[in-house]
Structure 1
Amino acid sequence: MKSNIYPIVLMLTSTMMAASASNWIAIWVGMEINLLAFIPLIKNKSMETSSSMMNYFLAQSLGSMILLFTVLINSLIMLPPNMINEMINIAMITSILIKLGCPPFHFWLPKTMNSMNWDSCMWLMTWQKLAPMTAMFQLTEKSSITTTVALLATTWGSLGGINQTSLRMMMGYSSMTHMGWMITLSTISSNWLMYLIIYSSTVLVLCFQFKKMNALYINQLTTVNKPNKTIMLINMMSMGGLPPFLGFLPKWMTIQSCIQSNEIMQILIMSLLSLMTLFFYLKMVMAPMLSSSIIQKQMKNRSSFTMMFIVNLTLPLMIILI
């Protein structure tokens, strides 16, 4: 753990540098330092570590190269100003999407996460999104492709996680879906940061639970004890955005903002696709819930099962209201 202190401090500092920078060169420098600081955190005892480190390095380097090239060549393009602005904006958004692992440039993300430990996965799904999303927020208001990108991210993230059995890959595809919602919200308001904070808190609790159980695949969740099953159920429902859980709040902010901006069709499609993500969230939690004889007996006893269901729903709401 002591050997990771310096990379973690460097990663935190570089992210804050990139997020608070006032020009694109400083943002690029901060992201490059962040890249070099995060790579040592990926290393573990697995034989697949070298491949995941190389995939992450190549993807991030490609995004950084496109970003830097676009920033430097901006004043040299011999095109009308309106065409320059649109082309430069699209190229810069492309570089950020590569860094985020957002569709259609997502192919490195699930494979990289599948060979990482849960600590690295937690960093990648939470803190590592802050600097790219801050840069994305400065670009999305001027771009015409953000709607397509958001819908593509939500669709691919929903479809990609359905047939997976690896918990890390399922969390990776779930991350893509939430990126689509965050990008949509970033085009309308600055509340995407609140979305990221709430999403990160849910992911941290869930990944910490998986780490504690040493679970990497769905079939390893069948031996979970009853308290952990209840916590997992609540977290999964929150990740799916079901009311009255905490995860519904950022999605409700996005829905409300889209309705006010007259983006009815886009938010309707994204809401329907969220039902598909809820399917593989339930797939993760139903195996341990149905494998326990205690839970099966409670399902036979309708009053006990109803009481358990009511408690699981109302407890998070009471915590939020308090």
Structure 2
Amino acid sequence: MLNNPTKLLFLMTLMSGTLISISANSWFGAWIGLEINLLSFIPMMTNSNNLLSTEASLKYFLTQALASATLLFTVILSSLLYSSPNSLLMTNSIIITLINTSLLLKMGAAPLHFWFPGVMEGLNWMNGLMLMTWQKIAPLILLSYNLTMNMFTSVIIILSVIIGSIGGLNQTSLRKILAYSSINHLGWLITALIMGESLWNLYFLTYVYLTSTIIFMLNSLKLFHVNQIFSMNFTPPVIKFSLFMALLSLGGLPPFIGFLPKWMIIQAMTSAQFHLIISLMVIMTLVTLFYYLRTSFGAFMLTYTETIWGSSSPKINTNQIMALTLSMISTLGLIFSSTLFSIL
């Protein structure tokens, strides 16, 4: 991507669109930023070598255009209603719900997630990483402006964690598994937004870091489906081990760094007396962890085959070294964090 000046230009405008959106002081400015971001991402998605990318980019464009139109019309309606204060009090909650719905559709939270796994399936790994991380920043920050823990938000959080967990159970595509995992994490991210900005920062940064680690590894090994994992015979065992350690960390298994933000959200939700919601979230996250374990277990248990004669040791490329380093930090991160907290 960085060798292509056109893609580099679109990458810069995509980032600037997000920055315009989150620094805007009006909803109209935020809408402009979201549109710049959308129109920059569409050319980056298209790939002449991949037939699914055209379908994915069209699906993404139509969904985002619908969300943007809803947001724009709701903002215009809101500005019209401000001229008559009596009607504003009646429809204020409806307007906030409509704005939140359009932003939830933009980021792919359940039950507005229908486009997300299909679009992910048509993208390469790097574009998929961008869709799962950077493209969520602007809608999430805009959502935080008028988000409260009411019935609408509770339903969105519960549906996101349930659909994100159940949806990934019968998938064989690694891209779809990560897409459903992303929907599950969105439920936790929205909860973190309500509980506090610092919690959201911690959870989002940890999520981006772990997702990047996994996708760098999968991209360097050219893995796209679960059955390809079982034929990684000539991959160095340490690479295979670190890939699945990062996967389990993303699922939130306690010895790894991925458990730290979940732990803090569980504490915050328990202190705020949201016992039912956090119980459902923890149970559904265990389901997510199950399909990560199911993917990992076969690869852990299957014998590693290697020819004794006439073969050199497998080479580890630069991407794998970077992913390996990130994975090691993920494996030992919770221990270091707990030690640091106890010292301070």
TM-score, length-scaled by structure 2:
0.85
Give the distance between the partners of 2:25 and 2:333, measured in 1 at CA.
Answer: 40
Measured on the aligned residues, the alpha-carbon RMSD in Å equals 2.1
Runs (4+) of structure 1 moved beyond 6 Å? 311-314
Give the deviation of 1:75 after TM superposition. 3.7
Listed as ranges, the matches of 1:202-281 within 5 Å are 202-222=210-230, 223=232, 224-281=235-292
Q: Which residue among 194, 200, 204 is the counterpart of 1:192? A: 200
Give the distance between the partners of 1:91 and 1:70, measured in 2 at CA: 7
CA distance in 2, matches of 1:227, 1:221: 14
For the residues of structure 2 that align with 1:228 and 1:142, how far apart are their CA atoms? Answer: 42
Match of 2:37 among 34, 38, 53: 34
Correspondences of 1:145-156 after superposition (within 5 Å): 145-156=152-163
TM alignment of 1:98-109, pairs within 5 A: 98-109=105-116
Q: CA deviation at 1:13?
A: 1.1
Deviates most, 215-224 or 270-279? 215-224
Aligned partner letter, 2:152: I
Kindly state the Cα deviation for residue 48 of structure 1 after the two structures are TM-superposed: 1.3
For the residue of structure 1 that corresponds to 2:195, the secondary structure is coil
Residue pair 1:104, 1:153 contacting (<8 A) in 2 also: yes
Q: After TM superposition, give the deviation of residue 69 of structure 1 in Å.
A: 0.3
Which range is displaced more, 25-34 or 230-239?
230-239
Give the gaps of 5 or more residues in structure 2: 306-327
Matched residue, 1:93 = 100
Whole-angstrom CA distance in 1 between matches of 2:227 and 2:99 = 41
- Whether the 8 Å CA contact 1:90–1:143 is kept in 2: the answer is no
Q: Which has the higher helix share?
A: 1
Equivalent residue, structure 2, for 1:122: 129
SS at match of 1:262: coil
**In the alignment, structure 1 residue 14 sits paired with structure 2 residue 25:** no
**Contact 1:86–1:143 (CA<8 Å) still a contact in 2?**
no
Once the two structures are TM-superposed, the CA of residue 197 in structure 1 deviates from its matched residue by 1.0
State the identity as a percent: 35
Instruction: Identify unmatched segments of 5+ residues in structure 1.
Output: 295-310
Deviation at 1:234, TM superposition (A): 1.5
Q: Aligned match of 1:179 in 176, 186, 199?
A: 186
- Aligned partners of 2:260 and 2:334 also within 8 Å: no
How many angstroms does 1:139 deviate by? 2.0
Distance in 2 (alpha carbons) for counterparts of 1:266 and 1:61:
32
In structure 1, what is the equivalent of residue 64 of structure 2?
Answer: 60
Tell me how far 1:260 sits from its aligned partner: 1.6
How far apart, CA to CA, are the structure 2 residues paired with 1:313 and 1:25? 40
Residues 117-149 of structure 1 show CA distances to partners (whole Å, capped at 9, x for unaligned) of 000000001111100000111121275411110
Alignment of 1:281-300 (within 5 A): 281-293=292-304
Change (3 A) 1:143 1:29: farther
CA offset at residue 4 of structure 1? 1.2
Q: 1:209 to 1:319 in 2, by over 3 A?
A: farther
Distance change in 2, residues 1:23/1:65 (3 Å): same
> Quick check: 1:230–1:312 contact (8 Å CA) kept in 2?
no
